[in-house]
Structure formats: C-alpha cells, structure tokens
Chain A
C-alpha cells in the first residue's frame, strides 16, 4: 500500500504542476469568464459538457476545471489512504492540510468566476495553487521509501537558514507575480531591462501622464489596445522586477553554498538554470506583449523553482523531521 500511496503522490504532484500551467493559460488568454457559471458549465453538469462545445476560451477554462477535479480526487484518495497507513504522523497531518488546501482552492476558483475576477481573489487563487503544489511535493517526497533509507544530509545552520529564506523569497515573488497579473500590471512597461526607458521609474502623476501619452502614440497602429497605467500598477511591476534581481543574487549565493558543500549533485545546477530561464521568460513576457505560451511558461517555471526549493528544504532539514 505504501508503494501505491507514493506512486499516487508523484502522479498528483505532476498533475498539479500541469494544472498550474493550464491555469496560467486561462489568465494569459483572458478566458477566465468564458464559462460564466459555476459549478455548472453553461447550465450543464460540468462532467457531461460535450467536448465539441469546448471552443475558444471555454477550452482552457473548462479543461482547467476538469483537471482540477481530477487533482482534487487524487488528493482526496491519497489522504484517505495515508490516514489508514502507518506513515509518520507528520505525513498524515500534511495530507489533511493538502486536502483542505485543494478544497479551498476549488471554492476560490468558483468564487473568482461568480464575482467577476476581483484582483485579490484571483491572486489568492493563483497563490494557493502554488502552495498546494508545494504540499503535493512534500507528500511525494515523504511517502518515498528512499527518503527514509537515504542518509541524513549533514548541513550546517547557515545552509538550513538559507533553505528557508530561499523558499520564503520565491513564494513572496510568486505572490507579487500573481498581483502583477491580476492588476494588469505586466505591460506597464514594454521594454526590458529598463522600465519605460529608465532604471528607476518616477511615480508622480506628471510622469505617469507622459508615459500614458507615449504608450498611446507608440501603440496607435497595433491591435493590442493598451489601457492607461496608474502609479500603483507601475509600483507593483517595479517591485516584481526588483525582487526578481534580488532573488537572482541570493540564488547565486545559495547554489554556490550547496555546490561547495557537495550536499547535492545536480539539483543546484538545475535550480540555477531555471532561475536564468525565469528571468529570460519574464523579459520575453514583456517584450512579446504577453504572448500567451511564454507568459504561462513564466508562471509554471516559477512553480518549478519553488518546488525544487521545497524539495531542497525538506532534504536539508530531514534530521529535524524524522
């Protein structure tokens, strides 16, 4: 049974990661309200909605609902199996928390539709999705027989602290990223690495008016109608970019320390590669004016980075958990 639980946990983790990508596609294609009702779909039972009617935005939104239902079912099944197993108490508690998280996530998703996507609700839905993904990673790792057999990693207090700081920094950046997306702050600047031709933007109304006029002129010929921006949006965007650079510098330090201590073979290298990719994807999101695949990859790559950091944190702190 433990092997079954572990396989199911891995499957759930991978499916949840895929769900994050599909969820990102919804915002990237502005399909969030293409199915105006919930939990029904155009008045029909969502599981009986015909595939042939899944056109346009409905394809993304309804696929997301179906995959989310499957993730919810897998988490429910795994939680039940874990409760009846002889895994550590901590694993049982985490599985219950994961179940609560996914139920809440489902309700938040429904509420975002019924209340027409208020920014705070949509950003919460995005953030909780990433958090639930982290919980599925914890379950996938702690239900593995190898995790109990493998030696405890001898880390020092510095590495321990860094592991927690890394998770906290990236999780915070994901929250800021969710706020960027749901307050329409992604395209307040259409250039990179500068922001509207400056390194540090001005937030006064005169500067904002000037930016808005330049946007109007610059994009007059394009079908993409860019709305005027506010100083609040500019601040959110600037914060996200700046925090990204801070994380980059921190990760150089963190990965270097992990590599120096020979604590992990390839994981720090993969992590660093993903960080570079994330910055590139962020730049491309802006330069491509939010091309939907690039934007969605930026979200899911962020989830992958967070996932790896959670994995590292678990292993570095294994001695405290066992």
Chain B
C-alpha cells in the first residue's frame, strides 16, 4: 500500500513537471549574398522603405545565427486545447511580418493589410485547402483558420511577386521561431524525451533534429545548418 502511494505521488509529480528548451540556430559556411528586393512594380511599396529591403529566405547575423527558423517538437501527443491568442500576419511595406510563423490548427489567424495598396493572400498548403483572397486598400483585416496540421507551406502575393511567407501548422503549442540573433525558446513542455526539429526555408525538407530530454528547468539545444557541398 505504501509502495502504491509512493508510486502515485511520483507519477503525479512527474506529470506536473514542465520545462523549456532554448538555444540558438546557426549556419556553418558562407551564406548566400544579401540581395535587395526590387519593389518597382508598385510605387507605394518602393516609397514605404527608406532603406533597402533584402531577401528574407536566408537571414543571418554577423555571428552566423539564423533568423526565421521554426523549431518544434515532433510527434507529440498533445491533449490540450487550442490557444485563444490570435496569430497575426501583417502585410506592411509590401513584405509579410513575420516572414515565418507557426500556428496551431484551429487557431485564429488575423491577416492585416497595413499598406495603402492592394494585396492578395495566396496560401499554397498541401494538406489544408488552398486559399486566395483579395485584400484591397479598404479591407484592412481578415480572419481565417487552418484546420489540419501541416509542414511549412508558402503564402505569397501574386500582385507583388517578391512577397512570401511560410506558415507551419501544428497540433500542439510546442514551437518557436528564431529571432534576429538566432535564439528560440519553447516553454511549458511536459518532462520527457523529445525529437526537436529545426526547419529553415532554404533547406526545406533537409531539417536538422536532435533528441532532447526535458525536465524541470531549461534544456539547452543548439542547431547548426551546414552549407551543402557538391559531394554528397
């Protein structure tokens, strides 16, 4: 009996233990050259930036840390509810902000048009239904949800061909996108062993993954993407 009670207490404590994973995502090698985006096709876009806007598919700081990398736990059996927080995708200065985002399936996505010009929002998912709707100047907000979990897919504007974003849909809340300095943090992860994956836009299906054991406190896990070489 005493043994049974001890086991029950141990299980209860373990179930209640949550931790976090944090780290930095970096790049090993010489990155692609920074290339300016040409926004001549729409005068409103060109005028909205005082400084040049660069390609967003590969953003690396001086320390080779990568921004816009999605880091997430794989194969999680999550039984909690969908977050009530809105995910916001803004069209501002004729670029998408954020360039890369993760959402939960069923989470409300608020798409904003902060520009004085028209856009179309064209999503190219393979699992969810493809969508394309107009956002003229007067339509400043539109809400939508994605109902199925899915690998990162592209969202683009066919009016402004340089505009693109990537959205990944999860059936759990354990994901993060690296910031400018390549750092990320995923909180409130139940204790256990997990496969943690990093996805970067240029590498696409060539993700980097590690096994991480989460317990109380923070577990550190860095990721490194390596420049592909000609010899496989």
Contacts and interface: CB of A to CB of B under 8 A. Distances in A.
Interface stretch (A54-62, A79-87, A96-104, A236-244): A54-62
Tier of interface size on chain B: 20 to 34
B159 A221 contact: no
Given A55-B41, A220-B32, A225-B57, A34 B120 contact: yes
A36 B131 CA distance: 10
A157 B134 CA distance: 57
B30 to A, nearest CB: 9
B122 interface: yes
B202 A30 contact: no
Interface string B123-147: 0000000101110100000000000
Given A36-B134, A217-B229, A217-B230, A223 B57 contact: yes
B136 A36 contact: no
Interface residues of A, number: 29
B120 A36 contact: yes
- Name, among A32, A35, A56, A59, the residue most crowded by chain B CB atoms within 10 Å (CB to CB): A56
- Name, among B35, B122, B134, the residue most crowded by chain A CB atoms within 10 Å (CB to CB): B134
Contact of B160 (A53, A56, A220, A221): A56
B232 interface: yes
A43 interface: yes
B109 interface: no
B161 A223 contact: no
B55 interface: yes
Contacts of A221: 32-33
Given A34-B158, A55-B41, A56-B161, A116 B132 contact: yes
A43 B160 contact: no
A55 B230 contact: no
A161 B159 CA distance: 47
21 contacts: A29-B161, A30-B161, A31-B158, A33-B120, A33-B158, A34-B157, A35-B120, A36-B133, A53-B118, A55-B43, A55-B44, A56-B42, A56-B160, A61-B158, A116-B130, A210-B232, A220-B32, A220-B228, A221-B33, A223-B57, A225-B201
Interface of A: 29-37, 42-43, 53, 55-59, 61, 116, 210, 213-214, 216-217, 220-223, 225
